[in-house]
Structure 1
Amino acid sequence: MNIPTGLEQRLATPGLGPRPTRATPPAGAAPSRAEAAVLDLLTAHPEPVTAAALAQSSGQHTNTVREHLDALVEAGLATRERADSAGRGRPAWLYTATEVQQPVVREYAGLATALAMQLARTSDHPRDDAVEAGRAWGQQLAVERTAPSSAAGARREVVDLLTGLGFDPTADSRVLAVRLRQCPLIAAAREEPEVVCSVHLGIVRGALETWHTRSDETSLVPFAEPGACLLHLTGATSRTGGDRP
């Protein structure tokens, strides 16, 4: 399978793993670097949170964080609502990151979630079957794209494919290690991580195989580090053993 164990502990560790996939903001609505940093902090909170709480975790002044949050609300990247009243004074605002996705990502997320949950409920070997289902899916996605001429090109094409599916990947210079910084199935991945992430691994393997590239040593570490899952393409070399650029 090559999906390492230890998921339970990682899932219980706050901050590990990718953030939900979001749409690219419209022109003029893209957050500044400071606002994007606050948005990342906001995304890491599963429940609505106050500006004061975010300020404490970021080390910034509450008024500064509140200004960034209000800018994110205006851009449609966050929402706010009043907390329940608890005594005298006006209740604080509670902020939540907005979960919106591009249409193609929404379509993928819906289909992949339904597939993973069905396998989790009905399959005797859900992880293995999830990899095989993902492999068939990846093969279909790969034949719709221009075939790369080398294993290195195949790895780069995998990153491009994952970008289109909403994973916001970043890779090292040789595209051997890829950080998946967003996940279009984050809620389902937290509920059934081994099955959902096995579908993702299968997609990568199916695409590589279609592009005549070895995939048996590729691996995926879900919720591996703060802000990302890790995809290892170390074994993705040409079937003849070479790795031409």
Structure 2
Amino acid sequence: MGPYSAISSYSRVEILHLLQEQPGRTVTELCERTGLHANTVREHLQRLVAAGHVVQEKEHRTTRGRPRVFYSAATGEADASSPVARARVQDAARRGDLMRRVLPGSAGPLDEDAAHQLDAIVDDLVDAGFDPLVDEHALTIDLTPCPHATSQADHLETLCRVHIGLMQSVLSEARGPLKVEGIASACDPETCVVHLTR
């Protein structure tokens, strides 16, 4: 796992998990749920927003006072789409198109939209410290061995849920037919294979 990965810290994983479970949380709520100091939570949220994993929205107030800021996990859907994630997906599609043009025989069996989704998800997984092996025919992504299994051994179930949510978010942001169906041998670092479906 790279030292600059936004999800290299379990505290950020925990915050992202809380936001995936219930969007629209405030810093105060996240402090209560995690036991972290408000400044620490804000710092983690800044990293997650900068990575495109979280979106923020200011409260629209009609009275005096500072508006609250609500945080939600980016889902790729219209109401929770991150401009950072959108740009990353577009960059991945451009790189994938270039690779398919210059490397004969590198085009797989998928249509352009699905290929762009795979370009985006592979980029995201590599940034998160994985070494993904994609089978375009079987629509699987082998992540074995999980690079997070040792450092996050006590939190594998939460970590797996967060990663599934992140993968689904990337696929949604890329606007294609593929979705995450599930993980074979979920939370087993020895066999981690993500199954996609159209």
TM-score w.r.t. the length of structure 2 is 0.49
Larger Rg: 1
